[in-house]
Amino acid sequence: MQPVGVVVVNALIAGFLSAIGVGNAFAENFIISQCIGLSIYAGCAAALRWAPTPQRRLAGVIAAVPLGATAGVAISAAILGEVDGVWVSAMAWQSLLIGLLFGTAISALFYLRSRMDQLENELKARQLREALAEKERVGAQLRMLQAQIEPHFLFNTLANLSALIRTDAATAERMLADLIRYLRATLQRTREAESTLGDEMELLRNYLDILGLRLGGRLRWTFDVPEALLARQFPLMLLQPLVENAVTHGIEPKVGGGELRIAARLEGGRLHLSVSDTGVGLSGVVAGSGFGLDNVRSRLRALYGEAAALDVRENSGGVTSTIELPA
């Protein structure tokens, strides 16, 4: 309770006492009430501020009530003087008892409020510690999931590179150069605390350059991502498993190959990202299954909980995988 609140409560006490005929006129009751109330308040404030332990603070508040009431009566007596022998009669004791009664109630509220503030601060500190621990846990999970993608792609690329070295050395050399450029870009991004949708699109272009060397004209791709969305924060390498899935299971098995379309749009406060292919569809493949898709779902769950979703379904000429998450 602030000093202004104490003054208001003291004034109400004086008004109550005057209304029931206790004490003298309101002005004298007001002075007496203010002296007693402010003296108790000063003692309680000193105990709560300077006592080193909760037990001593409580003891200080309890002691402040009779000591403050006694001091308040003495101060008011010095201010008012002996009016009609009041302060040499039972009125002094009456004022002291009233001060103790109201002072005890106010001090109890004062201490309880202080205790509630302390418990609230302790709760906030515990919640902060739990939030930091959860953030670290989710971060470790995301690093593990991302680490699963990188060797998966790397091993596939090295296997393709090994085959090309024997059949097409020039293409193998270009693929090796593209792979080195891709790995450098990936390592640089993983060292940064944040990534953007623009970073993701750049990595996907490098990735498709590598796949394009292996599939040649059988793989074609387009990007439909508005410039305004490129600066938005976005999890690194979240779309790559969808692209790899579309190429491996959709376009590569098709004799004539196919086209890949990567698109993004903002709608209703939600960010929609889709990877569509014109491959063989879901024939022979269980819809929505596979290492890459499971990885994407796990990362979405860790980052956004139930606020994000991955949907995989056939389109008129292949498969479309769509991620929807909060913008």
pLDDT tens string 59-82: 777 777 778 777 887 787 788 775
Phi-psi bin for 320: left (phi > 0), alpha (psi -120 to 50), beta?
beta
State the Cα–Cα distance between residues 225 and 201, nearest whole angstrom: 9
Burial class of residue 190 in the structure, from the number of CB atoms within 10 Å of its CB (0-12 exposed, 13-18 middle, 19+ buried): middle
pLDDT band at residue 323 using 50, 70 and 90 as cut-offs? very high
Q: Walk across the sheet containing 309-315 and list its strands.
A: 219-224, 258-267, 270-277, 318-326, 309-315
CA atoms 192, 194, 197, 198: torsion sign: negative
Give yes or no for a contact between 164 and 214, defined as CB atoms under 8 angstroms apart: yes
Domains of the chain, residue spans: 3-125, 168-326
- Name the most confidently modeled range: 109-118, 148-157, 176-185, 282-291: 176-185
The mean pLDDT of the chain is: 77
Q: Which residue is it, tokens 């272009």?
A: 205
Whether residue 197 is predicted with pLDDT greater than 70 in this model: the reply is yes
The proportion of the chain whose per-residue pLDDT surpasses 70, expressed as a percent, equals: 76
State the Cα–Cα distance between residues 135 and 146, nearest whole angstrom: 16
CB atoms within 10 A of CB 272: 16
* Both structure tokens of 95: 């004022």
For the chain, the C-alpha Rg in angstroms (whole number) is 38
Contacts of residue 313, defined as CB under 8 A and 6 or more positions apart, other chains included, come to 287, 319, 320
Contacts of residue 192, defined as CB under 8 A and 6 or more positions apart, other chains included, come to none
Distances in whole angstroms, Cα of residue 77 to Cα of each of 20, 26, 82, 91: 22, 15, 7, 11
What pLDDT score does 100 carry? Answer: 62
What pLDDT score does 142 carry? Answer: 52
pLDDT band at residue 288 using 50, 70 and 90 as cut-offs? very low
State the Cα–Cα distance between residues 119 and 24, nearest whole angstrom: 43
Whether residue 5 is predicted with pLDDT greater than 70 in this model: the reply is yes
What pLDDT score does 121 carry? Answer: 84
pLDDT tens string 144-179: 555 555 566 677 778 778 877 888 888 888 888 888
pLDDT band at residue 269 using 50, 70 and 90 as cut-offs? confident
CATH fold of 168-326: Heat Shock Protein 90 (3.30.565)
Q: Which long-range contacts (CB under 8 A, 24 or more apart) does 78-86 make?
A: 79/31, 79/35, 80/28, 80/31, 80/32, 83/24, 83/28, 86/24
What pLDDT score does 90 carry? Answer: 47
What pLDDT score does 88 carry? Answer: 41
Distances in whole angstroms, Cα of residue 47 to Cα of each of 67, 115, 241: 12, 13, 63
